[in-house]
């Protein structure tokens, strides 16, 4: 395969079930549906951790979160790394060395201070986790375009559990036309870079990797009326997991439900909030459509691979939760993943893959080897229709948000085990309980599955060098035989 340009599109906190190509019969997402129809839709695509900074740092470095050390978002940092270590590999370095144009527009959130400019990429560091409504660049763009400033009405808040007043902002009506939104601003900035890169490509053959990362559909859902009212709440089904009782599950989940005041909203209110979330997805899809149309207009379509994914999912009421947090449900760990490479077959792929795999995939598209070390593997064999030997499970990790909280998860085609050192562990039979409502970890009939999955998780953490294995060595049911030598000296002590 000859080297390709790459247009990389990413959203934040994006549920798989909001997209038509993943089965939503109501939400309108023609741009991404069309991309999936021409490319590979990955049906078992997972984030390595369901929180922004660690997931994005894993994409950028090709390393598991425990290895790169950016374990939490900077805004909630309790002592973890704030920036990628200088000795770690980063995606930009080999591409720039190979002569690629490389640009980044939109959400960065890989560390606190270092943005794309630090890594010699074209683009501006827009810091923070949420839409930069008051960033000077955006406000200057609004004035240049003659657009009205940011303003919101009819804001929807939760209720703070401590009775101190209103809780989190969840949604609101944006008093701007779609042309004035941050989403349109980011698309405009991406188009500016794309047009320059197209000239370089046609004039000298210089290739590019260009990323556009939107901040949405992460809450709060602040969108214009056109999208706020796009979907009839009566056509929105409530998540089946709203029947959650938290029985037999870690108490932190119930506490997180209180923190987000999920039960403050009744069924009708939740249907409206989910409908607004879908509207946000469609608004971003419309901006994606602008970029895909530009690829064709600029004569780049046959020379450019396009990737779409998200850093993680969102609850939007599922399991009586909102946002994300210390609960390793499919709602926030399974993410959309679409890869369209010119000449590759249109297909759906059922193998387990992760966000980390996109790092060596981009490098291989550029004709470059994966960096060392790298915890991912290129997806191009799968995209090209090959069926190589592939892992039949996925292992993910979590280190906390708002407070430290360690979890590890292993999921295969039927079962999911969540190891919670602080609390009760979780085991779900996804064939009989697809909504993960019933924790069968202590059920006698699942004892064999529990031990087998625990042992597999332990062995994978040990292989990776994830320090979480040291707790499992003595505290988990990993069968008979000596626990792992966690200090490296046990064999020398009689």
Contacts of 385 (CB under 8 A, 6+ apart): 344, 345, 347
Q: What are phi and psi of 437, to 5 degrees?
A: -95, -25
Q: Is residue 236 classed as helix, strand or coil in its secondary structure?
A: coil
Distance CA 105, CA 402 (A): 27
Query: Residue 80's pLDDT is what?
Result: 82
Query: Residue 245's pLDDT is what?
Result: 98
Query: Residue 483's pLDDT is what?
Result: 54
Distance CA 32, CA 348 (A): 14
Cis, peptide link before residue 397, omega less than 30° from 0 = no
Our CA angle for 405, 407, 412, nearest 5°, is 160
Residue 61 in contact with residue 89, Cβ under 8 Å?
yes
Query: Residue 100's pLDDT is what?
Result: 98
Query: SS3 breakdown of the chain: % helix, strand, coil, rounded to 5?
Result: 40, 20, 40
Residue 275 in tokens: 């409908």
Residue 92 in tokens: 């930009």
pLDDT tens across 455-483, in order? Answer: 999 999 999 999 999 999 999 988 765 55
Distance CA 232, CA 204 (A): 50
Residue 210 in tokens: 């260009």
DSSP, res 135: -
Distance CA 85, CA 368 (A): 22
The count of other CB atoms within 10 Å of the CB of residue 338 is 23
Q: Residue-wise pLDDT tens for the chain (494 aa)?
A: 578 999 999 999 999 999 999 999 999 999 999 999 999 999 999 999 999 999 999 999 999 999 999 999 988 776 789 999 999 999 999 999 999 999 999 999 998 899 999 999 999 999 999 999 999 999 999 999 999 999 999 999 999 988 778 899 999 999 999 999 999 999 999 999 999 999 999 999 999 999 999 999 999 999 999 999 999 999 999 999 999 999 999 999 999 999 999 999 999 999 999 999 999 999 999 999 999 999 999 999 999 999 999 999 999 999 999 999 999 999 999 999 999 999 999 999 999 999 999 999 999 999 999 999 999 999 999 999 999 999 999 999 999 998 999 999 999 999 999 999 999 999 999 999 999 999 999 999 999 999 999 999 999 999 999 999 999 999 998 876 555 554 554 444 44
């Amino acid at each position: 395969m000859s080297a390709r340009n790459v247009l990389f599109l990413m959203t934040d906190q994006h549920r798989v079930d909001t997209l038509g190509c993943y089965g939503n019969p109501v939400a309108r997402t023609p741009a991404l549906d069309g991309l999936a129809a021409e490319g590979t839709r990955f049906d078992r695509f997972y984030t390595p951790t369901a929180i922004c900074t660690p997931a994005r740092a894993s994409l950028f470095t090709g390393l598991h979160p425990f290895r790169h050390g950016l374990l939490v978002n900077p805004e909630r940092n309790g002592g973890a790394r704030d920036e990628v270590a200088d000795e770690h590999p980063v995606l930009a370095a080999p591409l720039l060395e190979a002569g690629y144009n490389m640009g980044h527009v939109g959400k960065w959130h890989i560390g606190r201070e270092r943005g794309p400019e630090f890594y010699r990429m074209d683009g501006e560091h827009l810091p923070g986790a949420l839409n930069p409504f008051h960033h000077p660049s955006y406000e200057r763009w609004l004035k240049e375009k003659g657009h009205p400033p940011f303003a919101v009405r009819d804001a929807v808040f939760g209720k703070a559990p401590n009775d101190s007043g209103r809780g989190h902002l969840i949604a609101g009506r944006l008093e701007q036309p779609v042309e004035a939104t941050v989403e349109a601003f980011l698309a405009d900035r991406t188009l500016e870079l794309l047009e320059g890169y197209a000239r370089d490509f046609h004039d000298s053959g210089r290739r590019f990797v260009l990323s556009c990362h939107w901040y949405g559909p992460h809450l709060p859902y602040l969108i214009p009326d056109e999208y706020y009212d796009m979907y009839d709440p009566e056509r929105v089904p409530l998540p089946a997991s709203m029947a959650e009782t938290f029985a037999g599950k870690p108490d932190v989940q119930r506490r997180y439900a209180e923190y987000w005041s999920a039960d403050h909203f009744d069924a009708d209110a939740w249907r409206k909030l989910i409908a607004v979330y879908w509207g946000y997805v469609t608004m971003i899809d419309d901006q994606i459509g602008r970029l895909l149309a530009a690829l064709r207009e600029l004569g780049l379509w046959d020379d450019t691979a396009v990737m779409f994914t998200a850093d993680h999912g969102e609850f939007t009421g599922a399991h009586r939760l909102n946002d994300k947090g210390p609960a390793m449900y499919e709602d926030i760990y399974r993410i959309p993943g679409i890869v369209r490479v010119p000449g590759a077959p249109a297909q759906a792929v059922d193998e387990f893959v992760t966000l980390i795999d996109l790092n060596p995939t981009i490098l291989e598209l550029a004709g470059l080897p994966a960096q060392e070390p790298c915890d991912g593997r290129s997806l191009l064999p799968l995209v090209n229709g090959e069926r190589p030997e592939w892992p039949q499970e996925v292992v993910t990790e979590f280190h906390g948000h708002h407070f430290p909280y360690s979890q590890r998860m292993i999921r295969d085609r039927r079962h999911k085990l969540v190891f919670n050192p602080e609390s009760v562990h979780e085991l779900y039979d996804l064939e009989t309980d697809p909504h993960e409502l019933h924790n069968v970890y202590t059920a006698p009939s699942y004892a064999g599955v529990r031990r087998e999955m625990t042992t597999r998780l332990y062995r994978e953490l040990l292989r990776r060098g994830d320090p979480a294995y040291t707790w499992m060595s003595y505290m988990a049911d990993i069968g008979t035989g000596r626990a792992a030598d966690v200090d490296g000296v046990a064999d020398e002590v009689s």
